[in-house]
Structure 1
Amino acid sequence: MTTHQPAGRQRAEAPASAAAAPQLRPIPAELHAAFQRTARLCPVSFLQTPAWARVKRSWQAEHLGWFDAGQRLVGTALVLYRQLPGLRRSFAYLPEGPCLDWADPRLDRLLEPLLGHLRGTGAFAVRMGPPLAYRRWTARTLKAATGPGRRIGDVLPDLVEPLGAAVSDRLREAGWRRCGEDGQGGDAQPRLVFEVPLAGRGLDDLWTGLNQEWRRNVKKAARAGVRTGLEGPGTLPAFHDLLRVTERRDGFDLGRGLEYYQRQYAELNAGRPGAMRLYTARYGGELLAAHTMVTAPDGQRVWYQTGASADHRREVRPSNALQWRMLCDAQAAGAAVYDMRGVPDDLDPASRAHGLLRWKLGTGGEAVETVGEWELPLQGAVNKALHRTMHAYLTRR
């Protein structure tokens, strides 16, 4: 989610004239999906696709589009609405969206129609997550900074993205609040993610980018006879069983049943076969690890979404073998970024949380702090009270 354009991607749409602000109106899901396949204004997250709306059945979904003076579609948004129990008011959420020209110097003319529309639906507050990077740290920088009590935020970044910084300033000036800054309502999506750049890199470069431990473990898996592959929805029950093992071992609970992953697999692949894939690592025929990978509508970004592994036979390193297979496949498909999703900001080697960060650092990628999620009460003190009630409700869920 960078502010610079990946290689080969240029902005196709000219910005709308200053005299005519883009118009916002509901659009069919089919038009929304078609726009995302060729969008060039900003990265498109799978969380903004019409397919994701079908995955999140407990939310009401609406597809919106911005049109310029020539009636060209120049931006889109998937809005998910969650109604408060017993009330007719709702909370509006745009996960990792909207997709629009965040570099427009008059950003307010794009956001004001959105806010007006949401008020008209009865929404009392809105949360959105601009798909932009803010700060970056290389693996080398973070490895050198590792130490007792250290956190990534304590370390001077290797790069501050100008657009991410500018958009953050503009949102704050317009009254938006960055989630979590007041100790309440943290981000629903990870603010700190880990990315492996792929654009312009060959397999040899990816291999040498792995640290020595990773290369040793991938080779160890190959010598042991670990076999990686792609499997279909019939393996999802076994994947879910492994995920429950992983949750118990690592002390977390995603709270998602098998049906959720079956629906996710079916819906994401319904319009774009291969958009979600299930990768597996087997040893002697036994499933030891299974990871899901999701591809963006334009193919420029892939996400390692959910990983599961067994407690036993960890010495044959199935997860390392699986990630290397997924990296290779993403590179071969022409993706510009391999996104390993969230990482903790803990640089203390004695901390249990640091283990996940250390494992991802071994790929030679970079930690990326995104702009994060921002919220805005839409009007009045009553709506602010409803906003606090919604936070309490979502936290309980």
Structure 2
Amino acid sequence: MRANGWTGSAPEGFDSATVRGELTIGEIEPAEYQGAADLHGGRSFLQLASWAEVKPDWSSDLLAWRDADGRVVGTTLVLFRRLPGLSRWYAYVPEGPDIDWADPWLERWLDPLLDHLERRGAFAVRIGPPAALRRWQATTLKAAAGRRRHVDHVLADVVEPAGSAASDRLRSLGWQRCGAGRLAIDAQPRYQFQVPIGGRDHDLLAGFGKEWQRNIRKAMKVGVRTRRGSEHDLATFHELLRQTELRNGFRLGRSLAYYQRQYRALNRDAPDRMRLYLSSWNGEVLAAHTMNVVGRRAWYQTGGSASHRREVRPSHILQWTMMRDAQKLGAERYDMRGVSGCLDPEDPAFGLLRWKLGTGGELVETVGEWERPLPGPMNLALHRAMLRYRDRPNSLDG
């Protein structure tokens, strides 16, 4: 085992391992893994056992941490990509692991993970702690918007002590923040927009901004209809996504087969885990969005809308429908996924954040992704070589 970095003194009669509570790690069966889904506030859909089926170019391990009594106290899905021609692997933990990130002794979780990955033949690993670092309310960011402004220029409404401590501890343990130095930027969004929906009774609409309220009422008045879709409707969804990409000048690069694979895998894992919603006007589908549900959290993953009849606001009423369903399912947070953090109204990147601000939610900066090579000259050399060519779109995309 690697050094744990603990420097405090144990109480008389106890050694440091007893004080910390040493943990072991090993593989876990999918059924037991699924049963441990809500140990630390809800795992990401990117940490579902079934997510490995969505990423056929990666191999995977399902792992669990156990305490001295053999109880599962943390879990993770690890994805592995093999270097061409070598039996060496790059390990990636998207939006995980699902452990206690408030633990002051993070090494008791991470050291066993690194030991396992080293035995597995990994030369480097990237993790994505889901812990929150800072939070900005929608009202704060609306007031702060301006030319060349960014969320980093705005005093956060909340600074999370646990997230700050986790960042400091990771740095002291030899992890490097992605986006720093030569490391590629985060593969998963560092800035996420989330809407707290637990405890808002049944009146979600009252928490929206006036523009959203007006657009939802307009959609209702002109007869926009929303419904749950099926796998058969994914082709319509994908075409609307393609139109949205062309209109807004971005490309996710995901095929229809990708979403079909995800829909089958996640819903085989648990019924209605991935949901498809569509809104129509005069019989024509104008918007289609996907939602994933795990434990106490729901995610709006991807959405597309037509380039015409936008004045009937099909996406606003669709999001309201999805949030209401998520609330009925017991979700406490509705995650609208990534935003750029740009607050410049003249920058096209601000448009997506501006749209999401209308829900009255909050922008959450997570601890973000961290990476490190495993010990050894060969691992360091392989990691340096990988850094020279890895900065390609969607290379790690979840």
TM-score (norm 2): 0.92
Q: Is the 8 A contact 2:134 2:160 kept in 1?
A: yes
Q: How far does the alpha carbon of each residue in 1:54-112 deviate from its partner, in whole angstroms, 9 at most, with x for none?
A: 11111001011111111111111111001111221110001111111222222211111
Q: Counterpart in 2 of 1:219?
A: 217
Question: How far is 1:152 from its partner?
Answer: 0.5
In the other structure, the counterpart of 2:9 is none
Indicate the residue corresponding to 2:195 in structure 1: 196
- The residue aligned with 1:33 is 34
SS in structure 2 opposite 1:195?
Answer: strand
* 385-394 or 73-82: bigger deviation: 385-394
| Cα RMSD, aligned residues only | 1.3
Q: Is 1:91 matched up with 2:80? A: no
Structure 2 unmatched runs, 5+? 1-16
Residue type at the aligned position of 1:61: S
* Alpha-carbon distance in structure 2 between the residues aligned to 1:367 and 1:131: 14
Q: CA deviation at 1:392?
A: 4.2
Once residues 25 and 384 of structure 2 are traced to their aligned partners in structure 1, the CA distance between those partners, rounded to angstroms, is 28
Give the corresponding residue for 1:135.
134
Alignment partner, residue 6 of structure 1: none
- For 1:19 and 1:312, locate their aligned partners in 2 and report how far apart those are by CA, in whole Å: 60
Q: How far apart, CA to CA, are the structure 2 residues paired with 1:92 and 1:42? A: 24
Are 2:39 and 2:74, in contact at CA under 8 Å, matched by a contact in 1?
no
The alignment of Structure 1 onto Structure 2 pairs a total of residues equal to: 377
Q: 2:309 aligns with which of 303, 313, 330?
A: 313
Matching residue within 266, 277, 280 for 1:279? 277
User: Cα distance 1:268–1:391, how it changes in 2: closer, same or farther (>3 A)?
Assistant: farther
Residues 164-194 of structure 1, C-alpha deviations (whole Å, 9 max, x = no match): 0110000000110010022531101000000
Q: Hey, what does 2:173 align to over in structure 1?
A: 174
Query: 1:338 corresponds to which residue?
Result: 334
For residues 133-192 of structure 1, give each alpha carbon's deviation from its aligned partner in whole angstroms, at most 9, with x where no partner exists. 000000010011010010001100000011001100000001100100225311010000
Alignment of 1:82-161 (within 5 A): 82-161=81-160
Aligned to 2:257: 259
Structure 2 distance, partners of 1:324, 1:358, is 16
Which stretch shows the higher mean deviation, 319-328 or 102-111? 102-111
Instruction: State the partner residue of 1:270.
Output: 268
1:105 is paired with a residue whose SS is: coil
Q: Which amino acid aligns with 1:323?
A: Q
Aligned match of 1:367: 363
Determine helix, strand or coil for the equivalent of 1:220.
helix
8 Å contact kept, 1:292–1:305: yes
CA distance in 2, matches of 1:119, 1:235: 43
User: How has the CA–CA distance of structure 1 residues 43 and 391 changed in structure 2, closer, same or farther, with 3 Å as cutoff?
Assistant: farther
Q: Which runs of 4+ in 1 moved over 3 A?
A: 391-394
Partner of residue 373 from structure 2, selected from 350, 374, 377 = 377
TM-score by length of 1: 0.92
2:208 paired with 1:207: no
